[in-house]
Amino acid sequence: MKAFLKFDFTILTKKFLEEKLSSFGLKYTITGFGEVEFLENIPDEKIEEITSLLNEYGIEIIENQKTVLVQKIKDTIIEMVFKEDAPNVKASVYLAEKLNHSYGYLSNLFSEVTYASIENFIILQKIEYAKQLIVNDKLSLTEIAFKLNYSSVAHLSTQFKNTTGITPSQFQRIIAKRREIANTK
């Protein structure tokens, strides 16, 4: 039997961090997605233990301020794209308002650190979300395009194909075929 899961990365990550950090008996608060404020001084050896544990799960503690801001940009984009009631504003305006920096500065910094543009990162996140929505099979391509603030299904299809190599319709057929095969086993 195969089960298809839907999950919220924000809730999943927050729960995971709460469980792992609580096991160390530390006083902390999760102030935002990807941000933890420790409410006490932590000895270096304890920091090393925490760092080691989190690294096992692909989570790293960031210390460079530029890298911190780039991570905040990524987190804000993910929040913007995956939000149920996603704001219908330009990404540049949304990022500038949320992070209190000009979009030009954020864009240049992001490109400098990641060697990719903010626009490309947004497209990748939108396509990932579109794939999740297609797998969940509850929305039509028109509804998905509208939900992700695309001007048309054709625009979504073009970006989907440029990113994945196949169209959303082909992706839907692949998912349907996999379900059919899974159900016959």
Cα–Cα distance, 57 to 60 (Å, whole number): 9
Whether residue 126 has pLDDT greater than 90: yes
pLDDT the model gives residue 125: 94
- pTM of this prediction? 0.69
The CA-based angle 118-119-121, given to 5 degrees, is 65
Cβ atoms of residues 106 and 118 within 8 Å: yes
- CATH 1.10.10.60 domain locations along the chain: 65-184
Cα–Cα distance, 86 to 88 (Å, whole number): 6
The CA-based angle 124-126-128, given to 5 degrees, is 70
Whether residue 30 has pLDDT greater than 90: no
Whether residue 166 has pLDDT greater than 90: yes
Q: What is the CATH number of domain 65-184?
A: 1.10.10.60
Q: What is the mean pLDDT of residues 98-123?
A: 93
